[in-house]
Amino acid sequence: MTTVSLTINGRAVTAEAEPRMHLADFIRETQTLTGTHLGCEHGVCGACTVLVDGVPVRSCITYAVACSGASVTTVEGLDDDEIGKELRAAFTREHALQCGYCTPGMLMSARDLVVRAPDADEHAIRVAMSGNLCRCTGYVGIVRAIQSVIADRRARGIAAVPGAGRTALGPAGSGHGEAIAARVAAPAVTAAVVSREPAAVSESLADWQPQTRFARSFVVNHAVDAVWDFFADTGAVAVCLPGASVSGDTSARNVAGKMRIKVGPITAEFHGAAEIDRDPLTKSGTIQGSGRDRRSSSATRGVIRYRLLPQGDGATEVELDVGYRLTGPLAQFSRSDLVNDIASRLIAAFAQNVEARLSGTAATAPAAELNAGRLFFSVLAERIKTRLSHLFGRRDG
């Protein structure tokens, strides 16, 4: 717990809060000012917008402790505010709300716009209000209400105030608080409790559709038979894939294992099982697997189809067709363009490691998790060919 002191609607308040408590929860739970609403809690919907040091801020992704000493205004603080009154009258007149969930955030953003906007241009208002979502009204009434307040004030000779008069630099709310030292002891590293998942992929692939699919290929400078034999040993293959490891009998059809992926600040460790089928006639195989990351409670299921194609010069092309589905919080960040990059890096590292192992130049220690974009620019990068890269996954940002 940390003691957080700040000013809310002109009143100095002090309360105990955990550092992880965001400003919206601080306002709602320690001050019972429940006018501030929470919608998405990741900065997208605008319901939680409040004024901090006079300018709008997302209170769901601003931690209360980071605002020590700041001055906060919530929708309750607009009761006697001149612009607040004008906006409420205009919202009422224009039917600018229905359920009212978005309204506190709308009013805070609108108030800021009324202060700053030089004129009541409809397009500019729509752009400026685009960070506040409303599921009921269709926005027409909201835009009209704001337009009328701006037009009216400018007609009364009240000029716009650029930047709402802010002069301080840096994140709004910062710069007031005293320095805070970290607690001395290093927090205990919480040991992940991992239960073994059954080594079986229960559902069949027949009725399963991947969300995203992509195809890649790479070339290994070894003959098809050598590569084919190497692929039979799941343990050896896993060693080549950064972050992957398997347990138990690694020549069996069903294997259990885990895959650790580190992408920037995100670390995920998927524990799961895979089922491997190989067809020596066509030198192709299918690996279907599923896993769960307990930290983020995200889950994935995927299938990798591979095919080995002899090249004229004694080399082998490995064709990969990957399809997967990701659910849970990680899916929020799995824009297909990002996954594409991660896959490229993983496959580049994998190809490099397979080459090294087959040439007998590899260390036997398993590769650490994928941890650096640099991998992508390694020697093998040129040989990675993106084929039929028909990514038909979502690409929502």
Partner 1 sequence: MKPVRFDYARPADLAAAVALGGRGDAVVKFIAGGQSLGPMLNLRLVQPDLLVDITAIAELKRVDQTADALILGSCITHADIEDGRVPDVTGGAMRAVAAGIAYRAVRNRGTVGGSLAHADPSADWISALSALGAQAIVHGARGERRIAVESLMTGVFESGLEPGELLTGVEILRLSPSARWGYYKHCRKTGELAHAIGAYLDDPERGVCRAVIGATGTRPLVFGDAAALFGGGAPGGAIDRGFAERAMAAHGMADAIEQQIHFACLRRAVAQAHRA
Ligand X SMILES: Cc1cc2nc3c(=O)[nH]c(=O)nc-3n(C[C@H](O)[C@H](O)[C@H](O)COP(=O)(O)OP(=O)(O)OC[C@H]3O[C@@H](n4cnc5c(N)ncnc54)[C@H](O)[C@@H]3O)c2cc1C
Q: Which residues of the chain form contacts with ligand FES (CB under 6 A)?
A: 38-41, 43-48, 58, 60, 97-103, 134-137
Rounded to whole angstroms, the Cα distance separating 371 from 125 reads 43
- Determine if 43 is a binding residue for ligand X (CB under 6 A): yes
Helix (H, G, I), strand (E, B) or coil at 183: coil
- Determine if 351 is a binding residue for partner 1 (CB under 8 A): no
Rounded to whole angstroms, the Cα distance separating 63 from 150 reads 32
Nearer to ligand FES, 138 or 314 (CB): 138
Instruction: Quote the least distance from Cβ 9 to ligand FES, whole Å.
Output: 19
Closest CA to 208 of 290, 328, 330, 291: 290
- Determine if 368 is a binding residue for ligand X (CB under 6 A): no
- Determine if 75 is a binding residue for partner 1 (CB under 8 A): no
139 sits in the region (left: phi over 0; alpha: psi -120 to 50; else beta) called left
Closest CA to 270 of 370, 154, 355: 370
Instruction: Quote the least distance from Cβ 101 to partner 1, whole Å.
Output: 16
Nearer to partner 1, 105 or 257 (CB): 105
Rounded to whole angstroms, the Cα distance separating 258 from 243 reads 8
Instruction: Quote the least distance from Cβ 265 to ligand X, whole Å.
Output: 5
Count the residues in the chain: 397
Interface residues for partner 1 in 331-350 (CB under 8 A)? 332-333, 335, 337-338, 340-342, 344-345
Interface residues for partner 1 in 239-268 (CB under 8 A)? 263-268
- Determine if 138 is a binding residue for ligand X (CB under 6 A): no
Nearer to partner 1, 317 or 341 (CB): 341
Nearer to ligand X, 68 or 290 (CB): 68
**Contact with partner 1 (CB under 8 A): which of 63, 91, 231, 270?**
63
- Determine if 44 is a binding residue for ligand X (CB under 6 A): yes
Nearer to ligand X, 43 or 175 (CB): 43
Rounded to whole angstroms, the Cα distance separating 364 from 311 reads 27
Please, what is the Cα angle at 385 between 384 and 387, to 5 degrees? 145
Describe the crossing of helices 140-155 and 103-116 by its angle, rounded to 10 degrees: 30
Q: Which stretch binds partner 1 (CB under 8 A): 284-292, 308-316, 359-367, 371-379?
A: 371-379
**Contact with partner 1 (CB under 8 A): which of 6, 8, 22, 300?**
22
The pairing of beta strand 71-73 with beta strand 2-8: parallel
Interface residues for partner 1 in 278-297 (CB under 8 A)? 295-297
Instruction: Quote the least distance from Cβ 303 to partner 1, whole Å.
Output: 21
Q: What's the one-letter identity of residue 191?
A: A
Q: What's the one-letter identity of residue 333?
A: F
- Determine if 127 is a binding residue for ligand X (CB under 6 A): no
**Contact with ligand X (CB under 6 A): which of 170, 187, 265, 280?**
265
Rounded to whole angstroms, the Cα distance separating 395 from 337 reads 7
**CB burial of residue 331 (10 Å; 0-12, 13-18, 19+):** middle
Instruction: Quote the least distance from Cβ 15 to partner 1, whole Å.
Output: 15
Nearer to partner 1, 162 or 198 (CB): 162
Interface residues for partner 1 in 139-178 (CB under 8 A)? 162-163, 166-167, 169-175, 177-178
Q: b or e along 353-368 (b: 16 or more beta carbons within 10 Å of the residue's beta carbon)? A: bbbebbeeebeeebbe
Instruction: Quote the least distance from Cβ 383 to partner 1, whole Å.
Output: 12
